[in-house]
Structure formats: C-alpha cells, structure tokens
C-alpha cells in the first residue's frame, strides 16, 4: 500500500476497531488463476497468533477458495469511513486558489497465511460466532437453531471455512493531516454541514486536527 508517513496509523487498537466495525472486507489472492478479489465478512480474533487471526467462509462455488488452498499468502482490505473533500472548504482557496479536490479515507490492510477449514465442528463454531456478532443486539435475535437442522446441514455442505494467521497489518488514515490547521477546520465544518454519514469522517478529521 502507498503509505506516506503523515497518513500512517500505528495505533493497533484503532486498526482492530476498524476491522470489527467494518467486517465486510475485500479478500485478494494472486495465483494460477490470476488476481481474484471478493467481498467477504470476517471475524477477527486479536489474541490468537502474533498479530491476530481472521476467520470467514466462502461458497464452494467460488473458485477463490481453491486459489487460497494453494497460496502462501493472501491480503484482506478493510475499508472504513471515506468521503469526497471539496477544496471550497479550504481557507487556502480564498488566499491563493492553489488547491485541488481529494478523497479522505481510513483503511486497514492485513496479510497472512490462509488455511482452508472443512471440519464440521469448525464451521459450526464459526457460523455461530458470525451470527452472534450480527444478531446479538437484535430483539429477538435470530439463531442458527431457529432453522431446521437438516436445512442447516445442507447449507454447510455448500461452504468451506477460511482461517488466516495474520503476519502483518498496516493502517492508513488519510484525514487531511497534510493540510494547514485552518483548512482542516474548514473540512470539519463542511463535512458536518452535510449531515450523516459525513459526520464520521468529520470527527476523524477533527480528532487529528486536535492532536496536531
């Protein structure tokens, strides 16, 4: 990933929070079949392994799992808040006019060794964890046991599990750190005026402006 020092995020807690908050990620492989990328929901276990463990599952109809079975490494890209930044928000525009648009974003890239999982017990545990992560706050929460057992068994035969031992992780928080303080404050004001969902990015820019 292109990562200028001003945008590098090394606070591991922030990286982990983004992964948990935005679990739908792009799984990337490069194998005999060429480059492949698919959006897959992941669960992250930060205390397992040196840099944590990612778990997910793929449809057996998805050819990427066969690439993963032969791969030494894969990459997972988690995308957080993002938004267009108009130069009209910059005080510098009024002073010099030497400004251009940009796009702010936060992202985490994780690289690791993939391992395919076909054990029914592993799959069952993973599916229960994944379901709980999305359903526990709902009233009432849906549970796997709500569906007929034979139906679930058939569905499980159509998927294969994926476990990735994370070897390294990088975070990029491009939130206007390269702009003068007065321009950053203009970005915050402009984003907040747009309402949701721009307020999330506004808060990110404001926090970095405060820390500057």
Using one digit for the tens of pLDDT, what is the confidence trace for 133-177? 999 999 999 999 999 999 999 999 999 999 999 999 999 999 999
Q: Percent of the chain scored above 90 by pLDDT?
A: 97
Q: Which of 113, 110, 90 is nearest to 100 (CA)?
A: 90
| Ranges in the chain, pLDDT < 70 | none
Q: What domains does the chain contain, in order, with CATH numbers?
A: 5-84+101-177 (2.30.110.10)
> In the chain, what are the helix, strand and coil shares in percent, each to the nearest 5?
40, 35, 25
- Amino acid 33: pLDDT: 84
| Contact status, residue 78 vs residue 25, Cβ threshold 8 Å | yes
Q: In whole angstroms, what is the distance from residue 42 CA to residue 76 CA?
A: 9
Q: Which two tokens stand for residue 150?
A: 């034979």
- Amino acid 211: pLDDT: 83
Task: Look up tokens 């926090």; give the residue.
Answer: 207
Q: Which two tokens stand for residue 54?
A: 């990612």
| Contact status, residue 58 vs residue 141, Cβ threshold 8 Å | no
pTM score, whole prediction: 0.95
Q: Which of 186, 203, 202, 4 is nearest to 90 (CA)?
A: 186
Query: How many of the other CB atoms lie within 10 Å of CB of 170?
Result: 15
- Amino acid 210: pLDDT: 86
């Amino acid at each position: 990933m292109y990562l200028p020092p001003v945008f590098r995020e090394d606070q591991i807690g922030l990286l982990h929070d983004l992964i948990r908050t935005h679990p739908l990620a792009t799984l990337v492989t490069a194998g005999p079949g060429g480059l492949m990328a698919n959006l897959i929901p992941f669960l992250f276990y930060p205390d397992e392994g040196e840099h944590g463990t990612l778990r997910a599952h793929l449809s057996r109809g998805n050819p990427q799992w066969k690439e993963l079975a032969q791969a030494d490494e894969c990459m997972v890209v988690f995308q957080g808040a993002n938004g267009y930044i108009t130069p009209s928000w910059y005080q510098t525009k009024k002073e010099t006019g030497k400004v251009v648009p940009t796009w702010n974003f936060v992202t985490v890239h994780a690289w690791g060794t993939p391992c395919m999982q076909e054990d029914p017990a592993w799959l069952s545990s993973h599916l229960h964890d994944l379901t709980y992560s999305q359903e526990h706050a709902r009233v009432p929460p849906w549970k796997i046991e709500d569906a007929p057992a034979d139906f679930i068994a058939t569905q499980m035969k159509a998927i294969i599990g994926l476990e990735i031992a994370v070897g390294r992780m990088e975070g990029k928080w491009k939130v206007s750190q390269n702009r003068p303080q007065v321009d950053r404050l203009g970005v915050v004001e402009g984003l907040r005026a747009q309402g949701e969902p721009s307020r999330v990015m506004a808060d990110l820019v404001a926090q970095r402006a405060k820390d500057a």
